[in-house]
Amino acid sequence: QIMLRSDTPFGPYEEWHRVLQNNGHPVPFGSSPYQGALVDTQDGDWWYIAFVNLFPGGRFPVLAPVTWSDGWPNVEFVNGTDWGSTYPYPLPKHSVTPIAGTDEFTTETLGPQYEWNHNPDNSKWSTGKGLTLSTATVTKDFFMARNTLSHRILGPKSSATIELDYSAMKDGDKAGLATFLYDAAWIGISMTSCGATLQMVDNIIMNGTDGWHTGTTGDVVASIKVSPKGSVWLRAKADITRDPAHSAFSYSTDGINFSGLGSVHHMDNEQLFFVGERYGVFNYATKSLSGKVIVKSFIMSATD
């Protein structure tokens, strides 16, 4: 990263001054900091905020103090070359709501930690007594389904667990819990006229060289018969470190004892979207609209 200076926005500009160049790895498994900006505090102190790549986890902000010499800013590096893993806080700490925990969707709005995978059809979801997801799309493509509610994966390792009431699903509907970016895998209920099956599906991949069309819509890796109506707990465990990054899926009929289903899903470490892998809660139709599910809780926990 370089910086130029002038007395006016229109120049002329002086010879450039280097601010960053491969200055260490302050976050494990991350890149060197880059693409940053100068910020100042109310007390007149200066800091440089940048980010590191932690793909497939996404980008992570980092902050370092700045000193000035001859009118140029210089980041305070450890040993003169490396961005430190810790620095004193520039301002008093403020409490924030932890990202981990349980959400039973008791309020009329969703928290800011959630993100829809597409612009939502707001007539097809509601909260207050759990999260109700009515089918909003008829498709056989997970990536084309609207109203998939996502949550960024807590790194480096975490799990997401949902309690899913699938009693009102219809023939052809699919609902469950996924990990996804431009590759995806999920565990969930597939409903047919013959009843319900619990499936683990992998190998759902968008093609980055073909207009982001879905190249493969997935393979059923494992499947078991379940009651045609009822509730099931679904869990995804994710490790977004690079050795390699992966997720695994399990289920429970009592919310306590979980059994694994299917195979390990290996996440792609490419940076095509510049965002991180996410947990996703979905419900879509492959035949016709009218089915719905109720997500009674979403629990995210850090894991070892």
pLDDT digits over 138-150, tens only?
A: 999 999 999 999 9
E strand or H helix at 59 = strand 59-69
Q: Are residues 68 and 119 in the same domain?
A: no
User: Secondary structure of 24-51 in the HEC alphabet?
Assistant: CCCCCCCCCCEEEEEEECCCCCEEEEEE
Q: Are residues 125 and 189 in the same domain?
A: yes
- Copy the structure tokens of residue 135: 């089918």
Q: Which domain holds residue 260?
A: 101-302
Residue 95 forms part of a structural domain: no
User: Secondary structure of 142-207 in the HEC alphabet?
Assistant: HHHCCCCEEEECCCCEEEEEEEEECCCCCCCEEEEEEEECCEEEEEEEEEECCEEEEEEEEEEEEE
- pLDDT attached to residue 271: 67
Local structure of residue 123 (DSSP, 8 states): G
Q: Are residues 67 and 212 in the same domain?
A: no
pTM of the full structure: 0.91
Q: Are residues 113 and 193 in the same domain?
A: yes
**164/177 Cα distance (integer angstroms):** 9
Q: Are residues 110 and 200 in the same domain?
A: yes
- pLDDT attached to residue 171: 98
Number of domains in the chain: 2
Tell me: the pLDDT tens digits for 43-60? 999 999 999 988 788 888
Ordered DSSP codes for 210-231 = TTTEEEEEEEEEEEEEE-SSSE
Q: Which amino acid is at 231?
A: S
Q: Are residues 296 and 158 in the same domain?
A: yes
Q: Are residues 223 and 135 in the same domain?
A: yes
Q: Are residues 115 and 179 in the same domain?
A: yes
CATH number at residue 283: 2.60.120.200
Q: Are residues 48 and 121 in the same domain?
A: no
Q: Of 58, 75, 92, which one is at a domain's C-terminal end?
A: 75
Question: Under 8 Å CB-to-CB from 257, ≥6 apart: which residues?
Answer: none
Residue 8 forms part of a structural domain: yes
Residue 284 forms part of a structural domain: yes
Residue 89 forms part of a structural domain: no
Q: Is the peptide bond before 156 cis (omega within 30 degrees of 0)?
A: yes
Q: Are residues 178 and 295 in the same domain?
A: yes
Point out the residues of the chain with pLDDT beneath 50.
Answer: none
Residue 87 forms part of a structural domain: no
Closest to 132 (Cα-Cα) out of 145, 116, 149: 149
Local structure of residue 97 (DSSP, 8 states): -
Question: Under 8 Å CB-to-CB from 98, ≥6 apart: which residues?
Answer: none
Q: Are residues 68 and 133 in the same domain?
A: no
Closest to 268 (Cα-Cα) out of 177, 191, 207, 187: 207
Residue 83 forms part of a structural domain: no
Q: What is the CA radius of gyration of the chain?
A: 23
